[in-house]
Homo-oligomer: A and B are copies of this chain.
Amino acid sequence: MKSGLIIFFIKRAIQDIFNNRFLHAVTITTIALSILIVSAFGLFLSNAGDIMDSWKKGIRIMAYLDKDVELKQIAELEQKILDLYGVADIRFISKAEALQQLKAEMNRQTSLFEDLKENPLPDVFEVQMMASTQNWEKIEVLAAQIERLPHVGGVEYGQHWLGRVIGIFNLFKFTGIVMACIFFMASVLIVANTIRLLFYSRQQELEIMRLVGATDGFIKAPFYIESVIQGILGGITGILVLFVIFWVITSNVEQDFSAGFFNLRFLPVGMFLGIIFGSMFAGWLGCYLSLKQFLKV
């Protein structure tokens, strides 16, 4: 009996979605659009986050040593740097190595180095930081600490633009979260509105049903089913569209200008499920808010 009733309700809900297909199409489209935008942002952030992480991993503090440092002092210094909080690894690059590298990099002007009597470069420590040292301020603090150590002639770290990029990225992340909230609310409002309108358009019918002895559950169930279906359909549509767009972009654009550079991934499974669940919840909540207004039970 009970399961028969659920089937009866689902049948009614689907029939009703079909009867009001224009209304539902608009609702589902709106939800899908919201989901599309939010998940596009999520996709962007999740990929940008990956890139950012790899860049962050690449951030190194270069500590240039004074000219006349002895081997023993170098070993001591190495230990001191390693003891600092936030340092993950350290690598010593002798001035000979450094010159080699410089020559390799400046291949166009090699003649420049041909006549050198003496290696003008200093020895250097390449300091790698722990992953937890995510933000720019911490990197700056660490660099200052290193600079204050004896025998360190100067430090250089990252390119300054990386600081800016991280700032922008965090701004984006924040924007993304705000947008997700706005669109969630928008979806809830839209569903609430749809249900409200369905309710209006069937007010007479529902009133009559109540008069012939229908319980509130009997009256409400189809609305809940409809709005959850709307939410799910909207969510799936949004993500599907995003996937198609993603697929088109990655298969056309990636090799052009990011081959081997980025490695674009689609949304992680957790995020995917979260989005679908979120849109379902938006449907449910919209219905709940709408019905709460009408039926004071």
Interface residues of A (CB under 8 A from B): 22-23, 26, 29-30, 33, 37, 108-109, 111-118, 120-121, 154, 163-164, 167-168, 171, 182-183, 186, 189-190, 192-193, 196-197, 200-201, 249, 253, 256-258
Contact = CB atoms under 8 A, between A and B. Distances in A.
**Listed residue (A115, A183, A193, A257) with the most chain B CB atoms within 10 angstroms of its CB:** A193
A291 to B, nearest CB: 14
Contact of A186 (B30, B117, B163): B30
Given A23-B197, A201-B200, A257-B167, A109 B120 contact: yes
A197 B22 CA distance: 10
Nearest to A33: B186
Nearest to A200: B201
B197 A30 contact: no
A33 B182 contact: yes
Contact of A22 (B109, B113, B193): B193
A163 B109 CA distance: 25
A26 B190 contact: yes
A248 to B, nearest CB: 11
Contact of A115 (B37, B117, B163): B117
Contact of A29 (B118, B167, B189, B196): B189
Contacts of A30: 30, 186, 190
A26 B193 contact: yes
Contacts of A189: 26, 29
